[in-house]
Homo-oligomer: A and B are copies of this chain.
Amino acid sequence: MSNEKPLNYFGLRQALLAIERGECSALDIIERCFDRIDAREAQVGAWQHRLGRDAYLQQYDQHQAFYRQSPLQGLPLGIKDIIDTAEMPTEMGSPIHRGRQPVDDASCVALLKAAGGILLGKTVTTEFAYFKPGKTANPRDLQRTPGGSSSGSAAAVADAMVPIALGSQTAASVIRPAAYCGAVGYVGSRGEFSLRGVQPLAQSLDSLGLMARRVEDIELVRALLLRQSQPLQLADARKPKRVLICPGERIGDTDPAMQTAIERVGTLLEAQGVATVLFDDEVLLKRLVEHHQVIMAYEVARNLVHESQHLDALSEPLRELIGLGLATERDLYLGSLRAAADTCTALWARYTEVDAILAPAAPGVAPLGRGKTGAPHMSRPWQAMGLPVVSLPGLVDEQALPLGIQLIGRPHSDSDLLSTARWLEGCIAERD
């Protein structure tokens, strides 16, 4: 055995290049992914439903000619279990929908299948992508939460069971689990992707998200989701001129280790000749956290209609959220929507020279215990404004647990933001 990692640790693009060069086959990679699942799933619990190895290989064999000439080569996909799939149930983490079998694939699923991805399985979500955890453990430390709500997607990717997984974010549901598990997380701008077949939680906040181990893999899958004509083309990494640094305290509770991590990335940026600006407003983002909470409660109560007729089958936090939403005055809700939109305009008008914002992806490392999924406040301001976000792993605390950071961009600047994130990913890797 060499000391190289097995093929299931390959990034998606890395795997596709290795297949193209004849260094390995898609089947080699697929087999290693199943080896990893066999070895780890009993502890990690990333999957709600999935194909067994034989069923997967049979599907691959039956359509081998198609897969071998497709962009994704038959490699496996994890899909969060609030995204509809015609081949497997979509239960949204709730007993109300046990065995629920959608009739259609979500558009995002149909696109990735058309590009030669194979649905390996549905990944565990918290109840309706809100707070109540599923069975998933953090693969870096099984005693800790993986974060939520895209718990299974983050764990499966971080633990090298699949190279890529789809998630969704309404509050912090992609960025926080990516940060806690040590994956790359990406949340598209509001409206960036079709959400057909992605079960909604709050329409003004919901965004599609992706988990991968490398930024370039996010860029590839994003191009497929946008039906771009050259999905494998990779733009140059983009060194930013100016980054706005937002310390966690501007948003809410932040662990000292995370404060240090943000400072270290600031120093790293400056050492690379990037100008940094410190975000000094003490209240703006904290207000956005509150506006986000108002919008979410109001809209969840009007989305989960059937479910709110089965209150005894809902968790206490979700019942409370629906009750809060029903009691929320419409003018308060509309005021919060307006405030979020106005803040977004004012923020980018003030920082016209800034290429991206740097902020913590979570308050610290994944908390011990699996009864809760950690605090979501670090994502609420950006999500209220509908901004694109990329979280990067690579920094760790004294126990080597991941400390995720996030980069935030202008609305629909997702493509530039990802190129910038890929540049920073390289800097963080070289530093090690």
Query: Which A positions have Cβ atoms within 8 angstroms of B?
Result: 100-105, 107, 110-111, 114, 191, 193-196, 199-200, 203-204, 225-228, 299, 301-306, 309, 326, 330, 334, 337, 412
Contacts and interface: CB of A to CB of B under 8 A. Distances in A.
B107 A303 contact: yes
B303 A194 contact: yes
Given A107-B302, A191-B204, A204-B191, A334 B227 contact: no
Contacts of A114: 305, 309
B305 A107 contact: yes
Nearest to A201: B196
A105 B306 contact: yes
Contact of A302 (B100, B103, B204, B227): B227
Nearest to A334: B412
A415 to B, nearest CB: 8
User: Is chain A's interface secondary structure helix, strand, loop, or mixed overall?
Assistant: loop
A305 B191 contact: no
19 contacts: A100-B104, A101-B103, A102-B103, A103-B103, A107-B303, A107-B305, A110-B306, A111-B305, A114-B305, A193-B302, A194-B200, A194-B299, A194-B302, A196-B199, A225-B302, A226-B330, A227-B301, A227-B326, A228-B330
Contacts of A194: 200, 203, 299, 302-303, 305
A203 B195 contact: yes
Contacts of A103: 100-103
State the copy count for this chain.
Answer: 2
Nearest to A109: B305
A309 B66 CA distance: 14
Contacts of A200: 194-196
A191 B333 CA distance: 12
Contacts of A107: 302-306
Given A196-B199, A200-B196, A306 B226 contact: no
Given A101-B103, A194-B200, A228-B330, 20 more contacts: A100-B104, A104-B306, A105-B306, A107-B302, A107-B303, A107-B305, A111-B305, A114-B305, A114-B309, A191-B204, A193-B302, A194-B302, A194-B305, A195-B200, A196-B199, A196-B303, A226-B302, A226-B330, A227-B302, A337-B412
A100 B306 CA distance: 21
Which has the most chain B C-beta neighbours within 10 Å: A102, A110, A326, A337? A110
Contacts of A199: 196
A206 to B, nearest CB: 10
Contacts of A195: 200, 203
Contacts of A301: 227
- Which of A104, A111, A194, A304 has the largest count of B CB atoms less than 10 A from its CB? A194
A418 to B, nearest CB: 14
Most buried by B among A100, A105, A302, A326: A302
A367 B110 CA distance: 38
A326 B228 CA distance: 8
Contacts of A306: 104-105, 107, 110
A194 B201 CA distance: 9
A199 B304 CA distance: 17
Nearest to A345: B345
Contacts of A110: 305-306, 309
A195 B199 CA distance: 10
